[in-house]
Amino acid sequence: MPHALVIGAGIGGIATSLRLRLKGYDVTVLESNSYPGGKLHAIEKDGYRFDLGPSLFTMPHLVTELFELYQVDSQKYFQFKKKEIVCNYFWEDGQKFSITSDSEKFIKDAAVYFNEPQQKIRSYLRSNQKKYDLTAELFLENSLHKLSTYLTKQTIKSILQIGKLNINDSLDSVNRKYFKNPKLVQLFNRYATYNGSSPYRTPGIMSMIPHLEMYYGTFFPKGGMHQISISLYEFAKQQGVIFKFEHPVDSITIKNKMALGAVCNNKFHEADVVVSNMDIFPTYKKLLKDEPYPKKTLEQERSSSALIFYWGISKEFPALDLHNILFTESYPNEFNALFEKKTLYVDPTVYINITSKEETNDAPKGHENWFVMINAPGNYGQDWEFLKKEARKNIISKINKILKTNIEEFITTEHILDPVGIENNTSSHRGALYGAASNSKFAAFIRHANFSKSIKNLYFCGGSVHPGGGIPLCLLSAKIVSDLVPNPTQNA
């Protein structure tokens, strides 16, 4: 049976291994860490459990589909529930607004709260859905780098309606055209952070992102976010996928413009197909040192990173839910600091995720496990020790002002993850969470393809290649790779 080698056991790599196994390949996954999941990992500390990486779960059908492909009931391995409250938003003037999963209720609530016409909000949401419907097949479900993608009826339809996609406008300008209330504009501008970009630079087509959250809803996996990767990992093992941990790959072996396998721990692993789930930058710079690299792609602006404080809190806060946002007073200044000055803003937007709201065992009784994150620039050699100390003070100040508390007296334990740690733990260039930023209308086309144009049998998946980062897009990249990889009989 032909053999496929997957480099990296992140969510994209695991999903790719399952799809290639179903296709008829023997599959081996080589992972440098001692655990599966990549960024989708977790730790336990002093009685608290913390998801280390992604905290938002939407489009769960992309996970359950992997079980259904094998005609297996996904609920035997993976359960989740839909959240009624999508997110709580707080401002320093005391205002708070909660987005509900019921879109009609959201429209009515937002119209009253932000003093905006219902028809304007409804029109905005419909426009977002239209953008998604027009572009999903082109931008998310197929390779942007294959001519055949552009010859479909759907692509032609999308091109003919390109004026509706707002690709020449920024997300912020689109939101300001619809709404007068600056708080509602800020709320919808936030969705640029879902792909590590700035709302003042990313194109207006990105207003389709709130559609994904509001149409599909947000969910919580039983056992926490880490359970997504663990359930798929356990399932992949049962299907015969071989995982080798603490196996960092030294190089991908290329001969006569064909990938033949990879060298790991001075041992050659032969393969008919090689898939890199590693960040595209170190894939070229470390694993393909002797091969020409796509300079324009690798020099793309990196997405934002994150600075995360994992706090055990010896108090419960009823005003908070699973997802909570405490907004900065100046979004433009915050994104200018992140992308232009490559530093942290003194008044950051603070995101607080509390899984113990759903899983009571994630914290001791009467306590909560806080995942406290602010957007951060990538690692460009900044003094992170200084920045972390300043950020901690600024975050605590923001929380105290908005929640009317003294949060520091309730912090019982602390773990910190910064861009340097993200870079070291996940081989993400500069600690970027999503590979390249989407701060240009051409960014999607410059992002690396899911296959090599010059090396046969070499493919790429994960958050740093098409279609982008985040759990849903990593799962979609796995599907694209599977569609591109020939059937074993063809490959042989």
DSSP 184-220: HHHHHHGGGGGGT--TTTSBGGGGHHHHHHHHH--EE
Quick check: 463 and 475 in contact, CB under 8 A? no
Q: Distance between CA atoms of 334 and 159, rounded to whole angstroms?
A: 34
Q: What is the pLDDT of residues 194-237, one digit of tens each?
A: 999 999 999 999 999 999 888 889 999 999 999 999 999 999 99
**Nearest in space to 216 (alpha carbons), one of 407, 86, 371:** 86
Q: Mean pLDDT over all residues of the chain?
A: 94
φ/ψ of 377, rounded to 5, equals: -70, 170
Query: Using 50, 70 and 90 to split pLDDT, how confident is the model at 413?
Result: very high
Mean pLDDT of 140-168: 74
Residues 6+ apart with CB under 8 A from 229: 10, 11, 14, 36, 37, 38, 40, 41
Q: Range with the lowest mean pLDDT among 328-332, 399-403, 440-444? A: 440-444
Mean pLDDT of 464-470: 91
pLDDT in tens, 11-58: 999 999 999 999 999 999 999 999 999 999 999 999 999 999 999 999
Instruction: For 211-233, give one letter per residue: b (16+ CB within 10 A) or e.
Output: bbbbbbbbbbbebbbbbbbbbbb
Which pLDDT score is estimated for 153?
73
User: The dihedral of CA 116, 121, 124, 128: what is its sign?
Assistant: positive
- What is the rounded CA–CA span in Å between residue 320 and residue 207? 26
Average pLDDT (418-436) is 96
Q: How confident is the model at residue 254 (pLDDT cuts 50, 70, 90)?
A: very high
**220: number of CA atoms within 13 Å, CB side?**
19
pLDDT at residue 201, as a whole number: 97
Q: How confident is the model at residue 328, as a pLDDT? A: 98
Rounded to whole angstroms, the Cα distance separating 337 from 372 reads: 19
The average pLDDT across 315-338 equals: 98
Report residue 137's pLDDT band, with 50, 70 and 90 as the boundaries.
confident
Amino acid letter at 312?
G
Q: Which residues contact 8 (CB under 8 A, 6 or more apart)?
A: 29, 30, 31, 32, 38, 276, 277, 278, 427, 462
Residue 243 has pLDDT above 70, yes or no: yes
Tokens 């390949």: give the residue: 25
Give 151's pLDDT tier (boundaries 50, 70, 90): low
pLDDT of residue 340: 97
Mean pLDDT of 314-330: 98
Tell me, what's the pLDDT at 339?
Answer: 97
pLDDT digits (tens, 9 = 90+) for 284-316: 999 999 999 999 999 999 999 999 999 999 999
Can you read off the two tokens belonging to residue 48? 């608290």
Q: DSSP letters of 22-42?
A: HHT-EEEEE-SSSSSBTTS-E
Of 300, 304, 286, give the one whose Cα is nearest residue 196: 304
Confidence check: pLDDT of 147 > 70: no
pLDDT at residue 342 is higher than 70: yes
d(CA 214, CA 125): 9
Check residue 215 and give its pLDDT.
87
179-187: average pLDDT: 98
* The model's pTM: 0.95
